[in-house]
Structures are given as C-alpha cells and as structure tokens.
Structure 1
Amino acid sequence: MSSAGKKKQAPPDRVVPIQRLQKTMEKTATPFVEKHGSDSPPDPVSPDTDPRPSWGMPDYPDAERLGHAIRAYLARVTMGAAADGLSSSFLNWWMRLASSPEKQRWLLEKMARHAVALGQPHPQAPPDRAILPPKHDDRFDAPEWQHWPFDLIQRNFRLTQRWWHEATNNPDGMPRRDDRIVSLVARQMLDMVSPSNGLWTNPEVIAQTMREGGGNLIRGAQYLLEDWQREISGEPPIGAENYMPGRDVAVTPGKVVFRTHLLELIQYAPQTDSVAAEPIMIVPAWIMKYYILDLSPENSLVRFLVRNGFTVFMISWRNPDTADRDLGLSDYLDAVGQALDAIGAIMPDTQVHAVGYCLGGTLLSAKAAQMARDKDQRLKTMTLFATQTDFEDPGESQLLINEHNVTFLEHLMSGQGYLDTKQMVDAFKILQSRDSIWPQYVSDYLMGRRHSMTDLAAWSADATRLPYRMQSEYLRHIVLDNELAQGRYEVGGTAVKISDISVPMFCVLAFDDYVAPWQSVYKLHLLTNADLTFVLTSGGHIDGIVSDPEKDGALYQIAAAPDKARHEMPEDWRVKTPVMAGSWWPELAIWLRHHGGGSRNPPPMGTVTGQTSPLTDAPGTYVFQR
C-alpha cells in the first residue's frame, strides 16, 4: 500500500511474511479500522499470482514464524542494520581493490611516504595534508600531545586515518553508495581505537591520573556504573531531570486548543499589542519532541517569533505505541489538514505561514503539493528547516537504507509495532561517535569529570517512537523510491508534484548537516518554480536550526535560489553568496513580514465552544508520553 491511500501491491516477498504475522496477532491487536476508522492493509498476495518458484516446498507457518522471530532478533541486536548487507559492501570494495593494481601501487607509495614523514622530527615534518587532522577534530589539540612519545602516536594515527580514507574512497567501478558505506564504517572503527580513547595512550588522562593518584578513575568507574544502571532501567541520563518540559523547557505560554489521537495543537499567547495578519503553523518531525523549537527561553524559536509579533501554532505529535502500529503516512498528512482546519476555526478566512522541520518539512511538502493540486489556497508561504525533498543523494544517516536493510528493519518493527526510541538514538550517536560518544567516554570515565547536561542534550534523550506502517511507507516510498521528488507519490489516490507548489518558500540548510546534507536540500530549486530563498547556516541538523540571536559565533548566507531553468551548482551558489555574522532567525522574521498582509489585533486563544476550545496549558500532555 502506498503512503496515502494508494493501493499498490508490493512484491510478494515483501508483503506475505508480514501479513501472515499479523494474522497470528489478531487476538492481541485491535484492528486498525475499528480503532481509527481508516482503511485496513491490502489483502495478502494470492498464491496463484505469486511469481516466486515454490521449489516444491509445502507451506510451514510455524517455520515461517520461527524464521521471522530469528530475523527480528538479529535486527534488534544490529539495531536494524543487516550484517550481510554490510558484508556485501565490504566484499565489493575488496574485490574492486584487488582488481586495481594501480590503486594498490598508489596506496603502497602513500604508505611509504607516510612512513618517511613519521620518521622525521615533528618540527621538520613536511606540510603534507595527510598529517593534518580532519575537520572539527580537536582530539589532539592539548599541548601534551606535542611531546614524545605522544606526538608520534597521534601522528601515526592521523596518517593511518588518512590512508584508510584514501583506500576506501573511489575504487574503480564501485557504486558510490557502497563506497560511502565502507568509508563510513572504516571511519567509525578508527574512531573507536583512537589513542585519545586509551588510558595509557592519552597524555591528558595520564597526567590527571598522576595528579589525583587514580581518583579520577575511581569516579569514572562510579559514573559508568550509574550510567549503566540508568540505561538498563530505561531512565534518562543524569542531569536530564533539570530540563523538564513546562518547567525548564517548553515554557512559552500557550494553550492546547485542539487534540486528536495523533496530535495536540498548541496556540501560543500573544506578547505584543498587535500581531502579523497571518499565523504560523509549525510541523515538527514526529521523530522528535516538538520542544526542540521551544527549549530554554534563550534557545526558543517559538518565543522569538511570538515576541516579534507572530501568532504561532505548534503541532505536538503523539508518542505512538504498539496499538498505533497501523498509523500510516496518510494519517499524518490528514493530521496536518486537521490542524489547518482548527486554525481556520480560530482565525477564519486567513492564510497560514506553514513551517516544517526535518521529516515534518517533508510531510509538509507533500501536503502543500496536495493542496496545490486540489486548489486549496490556505497557505500563504512555506518554510523548511533542514528538509530533504529529493533523496537521491542521502546523508550518512540514510546510507544503510536499501531494500535489504528496510526489509530487515520491517521484521524488527513488525514484532513490536514501532521503531523504538533507543534504536534511533543509538543509531544517530554511532553515526557521530567522534562527537557524541567518545568525548563523553573520555571525560566521564577516564578523566572523572561529568559532562554538563544542556537543554539540547536533555531533549535529545527524550525521543519518540515511530509507527511500523508509517516508517515502512516513509522508507520505501519517500526515501528508497524517491517518489515525492519524481512526482509519483500518491495522496488520496492521485500523484502530487512539488512543482505545483507556487507559494513563496524559505529554505534553511545547515552546512554540517549529516542527516539532510545541504547540497541535497539545495536540489529543491530544481523541483519548483516558486519564489525560493535559501539560507545556509553554520552548524548541523540541530544546532544550525537552534540559533539564539544573543549568542556569538553563528554565520549564515542568504540569497534567492537560481530559477529552475538555470541550474547552479551548490558550491557555486555558496561561493558567490556573502557571509553574514549572527543568527538567521531575524532574517526569517523579516521575510515573513515581507510576504505577509500587515497587522491585526491578536486572535482569541481558541474558540469559546467546539473542538478548538482551550483544553489545557502548554506544553500539553502528549509531550510527556514516554
């Protein structure tokens, strides 16, 4: 079944095992049609039409269930990554390298040059980029690393790192995705054995241990035990209790004015005498709690917009459980429509500035394309934060998304009905282990210094689950098949096209984004002829978007995108666009005002009666679901 009501029969090897498993769960699972009133999954593929050879084997339901259970268990162990899929990528790389004598010779020469450079005294080392640390690598900045033997250790590691980078990149004839997978895994393995992570190879740790007589290691062992106990009991990390929604974060005043099974709609109280004529509706990703955009007051985009005279509505998604296994992308698309209806009841005959973040932006793009197709003119503008609409060039977080791994992940999700919070958080941490795992390991467990908890780190630990059906549809139709970018994604039985969207668009790209690479997000200008403004900000997928105007250090570039007929490479656009210091948030406020319709008195907080009457104070109830 397609994402939004499209009844498209998937290949039999994809559908039959899952549907047979669902039959075995009928006694314990509430049918989706009874609970939500939506369409049920398609009928199983008829054996008469199954193109696969039967090999003369009878149907063994018990064996099939056992096989599914084994695959689901393996998926849990590997966090959804199929080990044989990785093996095939590495085998492909090895075969390509083995059949490329010129590459082998070049790598041997590189190794010899590295050995010569390593044998020279450090001050006389040639300015070979092979010895320079990778971007953002500050592991060896301390003065202790410049003294023997640690200068030799860290230089050797850097040379090894560079050599493996060269060895795993660009083998002759190797598919680019396999190339990037092998390079990513090799980098993760090297980061794991970095000398900065070792007790006897890190001079900072050795010096601290000598100063304290081992006290730092005793504290580190205590911290490790405490963290392990919290991990197995499902408790949040230490310090997260200091950032509770409604008390420390998500404190912008407002009311929940609308609630369905899938969302709560928060309307924030006005803080100015007059407000912009059109409200803002924010659609966050359902993979995250909404308050990433309403953290501590100084880090709150919501607070910034309200203080600048905008009426802001925020969607707070439900944290699904096993009973929500059959919620699909169509349900999330319908929920956005219901939120627009609720806003229309509070502010009749008024267009809306729609804002989407990450997956919420992808969902909003599909919804906006549907509205454009159906001549629904309720959107005034559309703003996208770190949002991919074309998945041809995925980020590192999506490198392992292929047919094999998606099927493997479906076995994992089908048993529990969702993709678990821990599985997602751990996967993202592993992708950025150099920044998110090993520095904390060294600081907490070797140096004996508890890393400080922040509002952003506490939010990151407060992740959500993803419904089985929705996640499967998203991975297959949006990511694997790239249907949205190609104009083949169906909503309500008919394909939608981003090219139909004509409202002005404001698109924020983050330079160091590994989830939605900015060069991939930039492709949006090839999909639409709308008035499109790009903002390229410093930082990554999260810290590039959370950009407090009061803090120094942020940079951004802003310029109109080239029109669709005149393609301009992303690097060319970046080089010619001036760099500005500060946060891009004020630019968004200016742009919204420019495309708005003036000012008005603040609207009421919900309606007196009906479905949009105030229900409870912000941040609502769904944000507390664990």
Structure 2
Amino acid sequence: MAENPPDSGLTDWQRRLIETLEQGAELPVDTRGATPFTLHAEPGPGMHLRRYAPARSTGQRPVLIVYSLVNRPFILDLTERRSLIAALTRAGHPVYLLDWGYPKGADRFLGLADYIDEFLTAAAAEVATSEGASPDLLGVCQGGVFALCLAALQPHRVHRLVNLVTPVDFHTPGDNLSRMAQEVDFDQATQTLGNISAEWLNGVFVALKPYRLLAQRYMDLPELAGHPEALHDFLRLERWMYDSPDQAATAFAEFGRECYQRNGLLRGTLTLNGRPVHLGNIEHPTLNVYAEQDHLVPADAARALRDHIGSTDYGELAFPGGHLGVFISRRAHAELLPRIVAWLAE
C-alpha cells in the first residue's frame, strides 16, 4: 500500500478550510442577538434602552444591564443556547439593556459624567417608572465600573448589584492592559485623534493575547466544516470581536487617566460632576463574579471590591475560565448563570 505523501495533512487542512469558508459565506450573521426585544427609550444621543419581556410573570424585580462602551452587547445574547439575557427572562425578570450605540464625531466631548450621571441615571429612572421598582444592576466589565459609580452616588436608583468581570483595582500585578495604559498620554491622544477608532483599540486587545486570538482560533476553523450550528456560533463571535464602536474621546481619556493610570476608583479620587466616588458608600447587596484566568480583568483586580465596598451583604463567585468564557462557555451556562439567577431570586 502506498504511503500518503508528506504534505497530505496540509492539503486536507486546506481543503477543509476552503469548505468551511464557503459554508460560512452562505450563513447570515445577525448582530441584534437571539432574544426579541422592544426599544423602550432613548437615554442619550444614538442610545437605546431595550426591554426584553419576561417569559412568565413571576413578580421578579427588573434587571438593568450596564454594558461596556468598548464592544457591542450581543455577546450577552449570542445564541438561544448561550444567552445571559434569555436566562434572566426565563426566570421571570423584565430585562433592560442600555445600548450605548456608536458615538459620532460630535460626541467626542461626552465624558464619564455624561454617561453615568446623565444617560445611565436616565435609564435607571425609566426602568423604575415603567416597572414600579428600582432595578437590580448587572454591570459588565467597564459597565460594572459605571454601575458601582451610580450605586455610590445615587443609591436610591439601585436595588442590588451584580458585577461581571469588573475591574476595581487597576494596578494589580499581571495586569498587562494597565501596564500598557501607563505609557499613554490619553489627553494628547484624544486631542490629536478625536474619537478613538475601534480598529486601533481592537489591535490593542489582540496584542494582549495574539496567538489565542489570531493563529489558534483560525487553525481550528476547518474542524467546523459540515457543522453549521458550530460555524454559525463562530461567525457570530467573530463579528462581535470586530464590530466595535469608536470611543468618545473625552470619556476614553478620563477612564484611561483616572482609572488605569491613577487608580481613582479604588482610591476614591474619581469624581463625577465634582462628587467623589467612594466605594464605601455602596451598601447594596452585591454579587461579584470574576474569572480566574482573565487576561483583561485579572482576578485580583475584581476581588479588590471586597476590601473597599461598604456592603455587609457581599458575595463572590469565581469562574474557572477566561474573560469571554463567563458569557459564552457551556460551563458558564450550566453552572455560573444558574447561581446568578438564584442570587437575584433571593
């Protein structure tokens, strides 16, 4: 029997890659998410407050999701099987999501006070008016920082807090993103460039983990040939990674300077409209969820909340995975999300 030529493995890999790419080109990729919603209000320019109706009426308190400015929120509703939002609506919660939209050139002067004191405040007030109860806030990454600021400065707007992979101490060992930020003149960058382009920021994030985010994920792509559901999931995640909004210049510079460079959230030097944000003022029941192998928000950066929050009703959940795994992994949806839903039902 003749032996396979030495390059037969590479030829087969190339064939399956071409087959996968051809199949992928025929699949539509919807970035609105898998769960139906209605547009409820417009808290700010180009922003929308989405409402996801509960699957059943159980009297559960509304949940307002505060997402990061950096990416689009459909990672929380990627597919019907992998949806944080669907898990909450199945448990009977009316779910609201503040979609920050895509900043335009004129939005370069929007600062953190605008996003938190005005737009997030307006969204929380709208939810309370519509549902008859102040919402539980679920803050995601940078959005968790915004949620903490709102709870510290306007405690009546918030009932309880759930933070997912939220940085609190921006100067922990092993925080590569923070180390990079120390070398940036944020004010000069935004004065020169205006709004920060999504392409530039995506390049920064890829540089933190280049092999995993570039070579490895594409080397595995041919394995999806003939598996349309898995390929569709891959394409949706791929679209999420690169469908990022530009960053409003002023808010971007303030967050980089005050949080990453000065560690102002932890030290109490971050101010909004002249009012300092003190984590010790937060007395709401709080659940802090972090990922043990997170390359963007190290576990120590998130765990620091326990030593500075004023709440005596504080708990933590450690997830044995990475940053994205908290939202899309099978383990998260089988083990982590049910525990978050159970905590909200207490």
TM-score where L is the length of structure 2: 0.86
- What's the offset of the Cα at 1:482? 1.1
**Shift in Å at residue 384 of structure 1?**
0.3
Residue aligned with 1:330, SS = helix
Rate the CA distance shift 1:308–1:434 in 2: closer, same or farther, 3 A: same
Higher-RCO chain (CA-CA 8 Å, sequence separation at least 6): 2
Deviations 1:127-164 (A, max 9, x none): xxxxxxxxxxxxxxxxxxxxxxxxxxxxxxxxxxxxxx
Asked if the contact 1:322/1:416 (under 8 Å) is kept, the reply is no
In structure 2, relative to structure 1, the CA distance for the partners of 1:343 and 1:449 (3 Å cut) is closer
**What residue in structure 1 maps to residue 123 of structure 2?**
339
Cα 1:208–1:480 shift into 2, 3 Å: farther
Q: Secondary structure at the match of 1:488?
A: coil
Cα distance, 1:313 vs. partner? Answer: 0.7
Secondary structure of the structure 2 residue equivalent to 1:534: strand
Q: Which one of the candidate residues 366, 371, 390 is aligned to 2:154? A: 371
Partner of 2:328: 546
1:457 lines up with 2:243 in the alignment = no
For the structure 1 residues 240 and 388, does the alpha-carbon distance in structure 2 shift closer, same or farther, using more than 3 Å as the test?
farther
After TM superposition, the structure 1 = structure 2 runs for residues 483-562 of structure 1, keeping only pairs within 5 Å, are: 483-530=264-311, 531-547=313-329, 551=330, 553=331
Distance 1:443 1:593, change over 3 A: closer
Partners of 1:389 and 1:291 lie apart in 2 by: 24
Displacement, 1:240? 9.9
Instruction: Please report how far the alpha carbon of residue 410 of structure 1 lies from its aligned counterpart in structure 2 after TM superposition.
Output: 4.6
Tell me the distance in 1 between the aligned counterparts of 2:26 and 2:166.
28
User: Is residue 417 from structure 1 mapped to residue 211 from structure 2 by the alignment?
Assistant: no
Taking structure 1 as reference, are residues 589 and 215 closer, same or farther at Cα in structure 2, changes over 3 Å only?
closer
Q: Which amino acid in structure 2 is aligned with residue 244 of structure 1?
A: D
Cα deviations across residues 431-490 of structure 1 (Å, max 9, x unaligned)?
11221112246457xx89989434323211211211111110001111111112111221
1:469 pairs with 2:250: yes
Aligned partner of 1:282 among 65, 84, 91 = 65
Q: Which amino acid aligns with 2:76?
A: L
Say which one has the larger Rg: 1
**Aligned match of 2:169:** 390
Matched, 1:590 2:342: yes
CA, structure 1 residues 292+519, in 2 after alignment: closer, same or farther (shift >3 Å)?
A: same
* In 2: Cα distance, 1:354 partner to 1:256 partner: 19
1:354 alignment partner AA: L
- Report the counterpart of residue 5 of structure 1 in structure 2: none
Residue 240 to residue 369, structure 1, CA distance change in 2 (3 Å): farther
Which residue is 1:430 aligned to? 207
Name the structure 1 match of 2:143.
Answer: 360
Please show how residues 130-145 of structure 1 align to structure 2 within 5 Å.
none
| 1:271 pairs with one of 55, 74, 77 | 55
Displacement of 1:369 in angstroms is 0.9
Q: Which amino acid aligns with 1:422?
A: E
Q: Which amino acid aligns with 2:212?
A: D
Structure 2: which amino acid aligns with 1:361?
G
Q: Structure 2 regions of 5+ residues with no counterpart?
A: none
Gap change, CA 1:448 and 1:281, over 3 Å in 2? closer
Identity in percent: 22
- Runs (5+) with no aligned partner, structure 1: 1-206, 227-237, 556-581, 595-626
Cα distance in 2, alignment partners of residues 219 and 208 from structure 1? 18
Q: Specify whether residues 239 and 342 from structure 1 end up closer, same or farther in structure 2 by C-alpha distance, changes over 3 A only.
A: farther
Partner-residue secondary structure (3-state), 1:299: coil
1:565 aligned residue = none
- Using the alignment, how far apart are the partners of 1:533 and 1:351 within structure 2? 21
Number of residue-to-residue matches in the alignment: 330
SS of match in other structure, 1:242: coil
Asked whether 1:406 is paired with 2:158, we answer no
For residues 209 and 472 of structure 1, do their structure 2 counterparts lie closer, same or farther at Cα, with a shift above 3 Å needed?
farther
